[in-house]
Structure 1
Amino acid sequence: MSDTKVKVAVRVRPMNRREIELNTKCVVDMEDNQTVLHPPPSNAKGENR
């Protein structure tokens, strides 16, 4: 096994006006140094917009 380390950078931008008007749910939250991923709403699966 290798001792290779992987660093991942995550940047979460604020929602834009259109996303807010559409009541879009954020699926990524940042809590201190931790990234929390939330499952997307069930109605978003397979949706191509």
Structure 2
Amino acid sequence: MSDSNVKVAVRVRPMNRREKDLNTKCVVEMEGNQTILHPPITSANKGDPR
């Protein structure tokens, strides 16, 4: 596999009204041709016992 190429396309849609009303945080950020993924905030990584 020395000459293999992989291309990935990422499309980030605008947040809808419900997502905005819930103050949802976007986990995908685009900077030019670079895609940055932020970990989602869940009860598991907030330290909640659930």
Report the TM-score range of the alignment, normalised by the length of the smaller protein: 0.7 to 0.9
Q: Percent identity?
A: 76
Aligned length in residues: 45
Scaled by the length of structure 1, what TM-score is found? Answer: 0.81
- Structure whose CA Rg is larger: 2
1:13 Cα deviation from its structure 2 partner? 0.4
Tell me the C-alpha RMSD between the 2 structures.
Answer: 1.7
User: Could you tell me the TM-score, scaled by structure 2's length?
Assistant: 0.79
- Separation in structure 2 between the aligned mates of residue 27 and residue 33 of structure 1, nearest angstrom: 16
Within 2, Cα distance between the matches of 1:6 and 1:23?
A: 35
Q: Which runs of 5+ in 2 are unaligned?
A: 46-50
Matches of 2:15 and 2:44, distance apart in 1: 17
